[in-house]
Structure 1
Amino acid sequence: MTFDHASVRTTLKPWGRRDLGPWASNGRQDSPVGEISFEYDEPEGRERLLLLKLLFTREKLSIQVHPDDTAAKSMGMASGKSEAWYVLAADEGAQVAVGLKRPLTQVEFRKAAIDGSIDELLDWQDAAVGDIFYVPAGTVHAVGAGLVIAEIQQRNDTTFRIWDHGRSRELHIDQALAVARLEPASSRKMSRHITVERAELVACPFFTLERLDLCADTRWELTAGRESWAMIAAGSGTIGSLTARIGDGFFAEADRADIRVGRDGMSLLFATAASAPAADLLRELPAKDRLKPDLADIDSHRERHDVIPFPLSGAAL
């Protein structure tokens, strides 16, 4: 299977934003968009393990929790939902909440969920560009306003909403109590350099998330040994025969691709369904093999996916 552009679908959310630039080709929307999800469909309809998203927040999201694998399977689902966040853009004072300030009893939790004081019991943390947060399934969490976040998660969108800041959407307090860890969480992660170009952001039992920072006018070979998702976070170039610009998503499985980096360099977020980084993921090609991409040609023949609103069914953020 070759590296290919991922398609995108958008989900309208009351807490979303109308300005999606530069992450979408159609940067201004008529209705608030909360999520862009990257998808890749094949004729045989294989079920993917991971889901890569972009979140756009103008207001606080609901306070929520996701089931772990054990709880999810008891409900007839294939997996739980652990996730990780990488902050792409942040307004001054933007925050996320991961875990509680202190342990709570179920009685305390239920009361706080009903009257909304649960918001004050969350461990709110400042969020800035480049920050990384890991949110294991069962962790009570929320995303604040003024953020653009890249999220990689297990492919299960089951969300139990605990508090929705006075919005009229359904709450799921009983279900949340059944799966939530009512305690503080260690969420903020520090990147670890594997090589000069590769930084491990998160490695957990379900996925690995890396950032690849490639210098201008270089050429690389990228090898995906299993299900992998990539998104261009900065710069431009080509991946195989495909143009690669900010906001573009890619999918690959058991294949290699030739990356030619443009004059502004390129940063990719790269997620794979493995618990540790692959040793042979990235290889720089010798200088004699490098060919500078023609960026004028890239711009004139760029293939981008327009944003089309997609209503999401069931409980969500």
Structure 2
Amino acid sequence: MPACDYPLRFQPLFRRYLWGGRRLGELFGKPIGAGDDYAESWEVVDHGEDQSVVAHGPLAGATLGGLVTEHGTQLLGQHAGAARFPLLLKLLDCNRTLSVQVHPNDAQGALLDPPDLGKTEAWVVVAADPGSKIYAGLKPGVTRDDLAAALAAGECDRCLHEFEAQPGDCVFIPAGTVHALGAGLVIAEIQQASDTTFRLFDWNRVGADGQPRPLHIERSLAVTDYDRGPVAPQTPQPLAEPGREELVRCEKFVLQRWTLDGPTTLGGDDRFHILVVLQGEVQIAGDPADAPLAAGQSALLPAAAGDRQLTPTDKAVVLTMCLPD
């Protein structure tokens, strides 16, 4: 197999849910079909049968999971040895409010059948209609009994902390945090490579089949972190390089936002980096696609690719993601 030492782009995987819409196509030019329920574009994923497939270059057609197996050191660098690629990048079109959810942590996920990772995640608001809400964490003092009673009464929202979302907001959602995205949002989401979701509440609505969607109330109550309380947007931390700020640093990932008005470099530190463009266009040196990444497009820079120059066409805003030391 050819070396895994160049910028990788993948074919997006689409997920259609009742809360989706058409903005993945309208905002980002994603090749969605004629439906109005396109909810998620999985940009970088290695999770069971859900696999990103390389779109360009000598490795075209290879899956991300296959690259982890065949080129673990070249791809992951200092983090080689992982059973699968540890992060998952999505773009979400929240045309309707999502269900209220919670995710287990790693220890709880290991007890599932089949076992899975926990799911700590972060959201960056790409677009927000006026009045769009984010629900993140419980109101102060809410106990397990309080939440259980609210769920039994069909009034879960009385326990939820909420705020009006603004473009550019970053919200960090550790495992165990009760959360939901409101209608009118477009979100970039970085998370652990897990697909384990427990649904507490679905706003008393029904699915396309006319039936309520399944809930996982007991499991949700068991994994909820009742000590976390309300979650507010992150306060970005300026970095030494002009135009760069750190949004999240946790044990699962590091998320930064870079505003580019000239060339810069990414990589060269013996780890992989994920890049997604939110505004503008960015050319990555050595990208076999031979075209800049446009808004909504992403790439994975393997550890073996070294440092690569990023050149914005004009001004660009990108998110970068990697694992911590």
Normalising by structure 2, what TM-score? 0.79
Task: Name the CA shift for 1:262/1:229 in 2 (closer, same or farther; >3 Å).
Answer: closer
Partner of 1:13: 17
**1:105 shift after superposition:** 3.1
The alignment partner of 1:212 has SS state of strand
Equivalent residues of 2:123, 2:190 under 8 A apart: yes
Distance in 1, matches of 2:37 and 2:295, equals 21
SS at match of 2:314: strand
- Tell me what 1:38 maps to: 43
The residue correspondences of 1:1-317 to structure 2 (distance < 5 A) are 1-20=5-24, 21-26=26-31, 29-39=34-44, 40=52, 41-42=63-64, 43-44=66-67, 46=69, 47-75=84-112, 77-165=115-203, 166-167=205-206, 168-183=212-227, 184-194=229-239, 195-215=241-261, 218-223=262-267, 225-242=270-287, 243=291, 244-254=293-303, 255-274=305-324
- Distance in 1 (CA, whole Å) between partners of 2:264 and 2:68 is 31
Task: Tell me the TM-score normalized by structure 1.
Answer: 0.81
Distance 1:105 1:258, change over 3 A: closer
Distance 1:68 1:56 in 2: 25
Decide which moves more: 60-69 or 10-19: 10-19
Q: Distance in 1 between matches of 2:223 and 2:110?
A: 12
Is the partner of 1:153 in helix, strand or coil?
strand
Measured against aligned partners, the alpha-carbon deviations of 1:238-291 in whole angstroms (never above 9, x if no partner) come to: 11243211111101221235335244222211111226xxxxxxxxxxxxxxxx
SS at 1:36's partner residue? strand
Say if 2:283 and 2:313, in contact at 8 Å, map to a contact too: no
Equivalent position SS for 2:107: helix
1:311 matched residue in structure 2: none
Ranges in structure 2 where 5+ consecutive residues have no aligned partner: 45-51, 53-62, 70-83, 207-211
CA distance in 2, matches of 1:55, 1:110: 29
- What's the offset of the Cα at 1:214? 1.2
For residues 29 and 259 of structure 1, the distance between their equivalents in structure 2, rounded to whole angstroms, comes to 37
**1 CA distance for matches of 2:133 and 2:267?**
35
Range moving further from structure 2, 231-240 or 48-57: 231-240
Q: How many residues align?
A: 273
Distance 1:77 1:227, change over 3 A: farther
SS in 1 for 2:110: helix
1:103 is displaced (CA, Å) by 2.6
Report deviation, 1:7.
2.2
Q: Which amino acid aligns with 2:145?
A: V
Gaps of 5+ in 1: 276-317
**Match for residue 72 of structure 2?**
none
Structure 1 residues 259 and 234: alpha-carbon distance in aligned structure 2, compared to 1, 3 A threshold: farther
Letter in 2 for 1:128: Q
Q: How many percent of aligned residue pairs carry the same amino acid?
A: 32
Contact 2:267–2:308 under 8 Å retained in 1: no
Higher strand residue share: 1
Per the alignment, do residues 52 and 249 of structure 1 end up closer, same or farther by CA in structure 2, a change over 3 Å counting? same
In structure 2, distance between residues paired with 1:28 and 1:234: 24
What residue is the counterpart of 1:298 in the other structure?
none
